[in-house]
Amino acid sequence: MKIAAIKGFNDILPEQAAVWRHIESVFHRVLGAWGYGEIRLPLLEYTELFARSIGGETDIVEKEMYTFSDRSGRSLTLRPEGTASMVRAWVQHTLGAPAEVGKFRYVGPMFRYERPQKGRYRQFYQLGAEVFGDESFYQDAEMLIMLARFFHEVGVEGTKLHLNSLGCQACRPHYRDELQHFLADRVDRLCDDCRRRVPQNPLRALDCKQPACREVVAVAPRILDYLDAPCREHFAGVTRLLTAAGVEYEIDQFMVRGLDYYSRTTFEFLAGELGAQNAVGAGGRYDNLVAELGGRETPAIGFAVGMERLAMLVATAAGAPPTEGGVALTALGAPAIERLFPLQQELCAAGIRALLNYREKSLKSLLKKADRDGVRYVLIVGDQELEREEATLRDMSTGEQRTVLLTEVVPTMRRMIHGRQDN
Ligand code: ATP
Ligand code: MG
């Protein structure tokens, strides 16, 4: 019986992995330039960490977590997102002195028990970043400008930035009460989830996707009308800096995000080409979470971009990743294979992609394979060439052919591929 992968868990095949690698390298370069250091966090955490940070009335905690007991009976959860772990690490290592700013970036898999469909999987990858210790609106603007830059450099244009502010602990309760009253008068028109959440967490209804809820919410009180003066100023600062930097945005007062820990600025980058799962990245400020998880009061902000969704956009964008290049050593017959085997090792050691057939095949099928492998050069050695210690070198892009001595293959390839003299 064949064993298949778990539903919603994907194999990333080489062609796709090349796109991912391209995205990751641009991500690390761009965020490195903006001063974000890389962090690698564990995939498993105590369940309590997510329950406390993400919030009890969220979809993630209520129905999407992969939770199980380990052999000693402790409840563990495969991380559904990166922020909780990052905050846990920040508090645990008290990374940085009190007044210091810490900036981190990460890439890795997340796990959510959702209904698998295009752009929505049970294991998916996020490229994320978090900043601790800076409450200024400059920090919010920096992150958004940097993200816009990242999308541009990775070759994705036309994402739309949606922006909102959720206020703070001082002003949000007023809004929450108003919204709660408004929704309580209309509970019979809400979906089951929203109805249940109105008493504890009425804001959840704002981004409910059910048409009936959307209709109710469309005329609900608007959060920006309830911001206090400091929150209004903060939001105005962010939008002013974005405008000055030429980053376009749209204010979306229904965007509250699916996690409870956000405050003030929240944002999403949307891409129409993605269809129903159109959010390619999202994030926001979470000024209270560090203290709630036992750290000292520390303002913070972060985002996460979905790798699979971004890769779909990159793959459809112009300038797909370059072919792999290198050389196919095309050995016709056993003696030629034997002779080219050590040459392959020398080429690989020199950092040149070198492929060699270990089984005897016809020239025609080897050339076809070389074409599929996307090599730049083909080096052909048959019995006659072998006798003369020579090879025929063909440039696949021009069709030009020349003869090289076998002893000259490595320096010749180095020169042609790396563009430098061998010494
Ligand atoms: P959505 O509204 O699509 O469910 P979300 O608000 O749950 O997204 P976040 O928790 O903010 O998403 O995660 C940030 C990004 O991670 C999303 O914008 C999306 O690109 C990606 N993402 C989230 N869940 C999944 C998933 N199940 N499969 C693939 N990508 C995902
Ligand atoms: Mg979700």
Q: What is the mean pLDDT of residues 337-350?
A: 95
At residue 423 the predicted structure's pLDDT band, cuts being 50, 70 and 90, is very low
Q: Whose structure tokens read 């108003």? A: 178
pLDDT digits (tens, 9 = 90+) for 139-160: 999 999 999 999 999 999 999 9
259 vs 224: which has the higher pLDDT:
224
3-state secondary structure of 115: coil
Strand partners, 109: 125
Mean pLDDT of 377-384: 97
Testing ligand 1's pocket by substitution, the residue of 265, 277, 308, 310 carrying the most ligand atoms inside 8 A of its CB is 277
How far is it, in rounded angstroms, from Cα 234 to Cα 165?
9
Backbone angles phi, psi at 212, to 5 degrees: -65, -45
Across-strand partners of 69? 75
- Ligand 1 centroid vs 277 CA: distance in angstroms? 8
Question: How many whole angstroms separate alpha carbon 305 and alpha carbon 107?
Answer: 9
For the CA of 284, the nearest ligand: 1
Residue 420: per-residue pLDDT: 56
Does 117 have pLDDT greater than 50?
A: yes
Instruction: Quickly tell me which residue has 């990159």 as its tokens.
Output: 314
* CA pair distance 387, 377, nearest whole angstrom: 22
Q: How many angstroms from the chain centroid is the CA of residue 93?
A: 25
User: Which of 290, 316, 342 represents a domain boundary (last residue)?
Assistant: 316
Strands (E), 212-319: 250-251, 263-270, 279-285, 300-306
Residue 249 lies in a domain: yes
- 187 CA to centre of ligand 1 in angstroms: 28
Flag whether pLDDT at 54 surpasses 90.
Answer: no
Looking at the structure, tell me whether residues 242 and 361 fall in a common domain: no
Q: What band does 256 get if pLDDT is binned at 50, 70 and 90?
A: confident
Q: Is 295 in the pocket of ligand 1 (CB under 6 A)?
A: no
Q: Are residues 300 and 332 in the same domain?
A: no
Which of 260, 288, 316 terminates a domain? The answer is 316
Same domain for 356 and 303, yes or no, is no
Give the confidence band of 312 by pLDDT, cuts at 50, 70, 90.
Answer: very high
Work out the angle at residue 281's Cα, subtended by the Cα atoms of residues 280 and 285, and round it to the nearest 5 degrees.
160
pLDDT at 315: 76
Question: Hunting for tokens 């991380």 — which residue is that?
Answer: 79
pLDDT grade for 422, boundaries at 50, 70 and 90 = very low
Shortest-distance Cα residue to atom 11 of ligand 1: 282
Nearest CA to ligand 1 atom 6: 258
Confidence of residue 1 (pLDDT cuts 50, 70, 90): confident
Residues 204-246: tens digit of each pLDDT: 899 888 999 999 999 999 999 999 999 999 999 999 999 999 9
Residue 100 lies inside a defined structural domain of this protein = yes
Range of lowest pLDDT (96-110, 191-205, 291-305, 320-334) = 320-334
In a domain, 321, yes or no: no
Position 321 pLDDT exceeds 60: no
What sections of 166-288 are H helices per DSSP? 172-184, 192-197, 211-218, 229-245
Percent of the chain clearing pLDDT 90 (strictly above) = 83
Q: Binning pLDDT at 50, 70 and 90, where does residue 57 land?
A: confident
Confirm or reject: Cβ of 123 under 6 Å from ligand 1.
Answer: no
CB-CB contact of 106 with 40 (8 Å): yes
Residue 389 lies inside a defined structural domain of this protein: yes
Pocket lining: 162 vs ligand 1, CB cutoff 6 Å: no
Same domain, 408 and 277: no
Determine if ligand 1 sits within 6 Å of the CB of residue 301: no
Q: Which residues contact 256 (CB under 8 A, 6 or more apart)?
A: 164, 166, 203, 204, 206, 207, 223, 262, 266
**DSSP 8-class letter at 414:** I
Let me know the angle formed at the C-alpha of 251 by 138 and 153, rounded to the nearest 5 degrees.
60
Q: Which two tokens stand for residue 95?
A: 């990374």
Mean pLDDT across 332-350: 95
CATH code, domain with 376 = 3.40.50.800
pLDDT higher than 90, residue 188: yes
CB 159 within 8 A of CB 248: no
* Same domain membership, residue 49 and residue 114: yes
Q: What span, in angstroms and rounded, lies between the C-alpha atoms of 55 and 237? A: 29
Q: How far is the CA of 258 from the centre of ligand 1 (A)?
A: 9
Is any atom of ligand 1 closer than 6 Å to the C-beta of 306? yes
- Ligand of minimum distance to the alpha carbon of 282: 1
Q: What is the pLDDT of residues 5-37, one digit of tens each?
A: 999 999 999 889 999 999 999 999 999 999 999
The secondary structure of residue 55, as a DSSP letter, is: -
Q: What is the mean pLDDT of residues 380-399?
A: 96
Among the candidates 316, 350, 374, a domain finishes at 316
Residues 135 and 47 in one domain: yes
30 CA distance to ligand 1 middle (Å): 22
Pairing label, strands 75-78, 66-69: antiparallel
Closest residue to atom 23 of ligand 1, CA basis: 306
Tell whether 393 is covered by a domain: yes
Atom of ligand 1 nearest to the CA of 60: 7
Tell me the per-residue pLDDT of 240-251, one tens digit each, with 9 for 90 and over.
Answer: 999 999 999 999
Q: What is the pLDDT of residues 164-186, one digit of tens each?
A: 999 999 999 999 999 999 999 99
Could you tell me the pLDDT band of residue 261, with boundaries at 50, 70 and 90?
confident
At residue 14, the pLDDT reads 87
pLDDT average, residue stretch 400-419:
93
Domain total of the chain: 2
Same domain for 301 and 339, yes or no, is: no
Residues 32 and 112 in one domain: yes
The upper half-sphere exposure of residue 267, i.e. CA atoms within 13 Å in the direction of its Cβ, equals 28
Residue 59 CA to ligand 2 center (angstroms) comes to: 7
Name the more confident of 320 and 188.
Answer: 188
Between the alpha carbon of residue 99 and those of residues 102, 296, 297, 414, the distances in Å are 10, 11, 11, 51
Strands lying side by side in the sheet with 377-381: 354-356, 327-331, 377-381, 390-395, 401-405
337 shares a domain with 288? no
Co-location of 92 and 232 in the same domain: yes
Residue 181 forms part of a structural domain:
no
Structure confidence at residue 311 (pLDDT): 96
Q: Is residue 208 in contact with ligand 1, taking CB distance under 6 Å?
A: no
124 lines ligand 1 (CB under 6 A): yes
Report the separation in Å between the CA atom of 259 and the middle of ligand 2, taken as the mean of its atom positions.
9
Q: Ligand 1 pocket: which of 106, 110, 150 to mutate (most atoms <8 Å of CB)?
A: 110
Split at pLDDT 50, 70, 90, the class of 317 is low
CATH number of the structural domain spanning residue 125? 3.30.930.10
Cβ(114) to ligand 1 under 6 A? yes
Which pLDDT score is estimated for 142?
96
**Structural domain includes residue 4:** no
Q: Which two tokens stand for residue 197?
A: 């959440």
In angstroms, what is the C-alpha Rg of the chain?
Answer: 28
Range of the domain at 349: 327-418
Which stretch of 194-203, 320-329, 384-393, 412-421 has the lowest confidence by average pLDDT?
320-329
Residues 140, 253 share a domain: yes
Tell the residue nearest (CA) to atom 22 of ligand 1: 306
Q: What is the mean pLDDT of residues 113-127?
A: 97
* Distance of CA 302 from the midpoint of ligand 1 (Å): 14
CB of 83 within 8 A of CB of 74?
no
Q: Is residue 43 part of a domain?
A: yes
- Ligand 1 atom nearest the C-alpha of 283 is 11
Q: Cβ(344) to ligand 1 under 6 A?
A: no
234 and 349 part of one domain: no
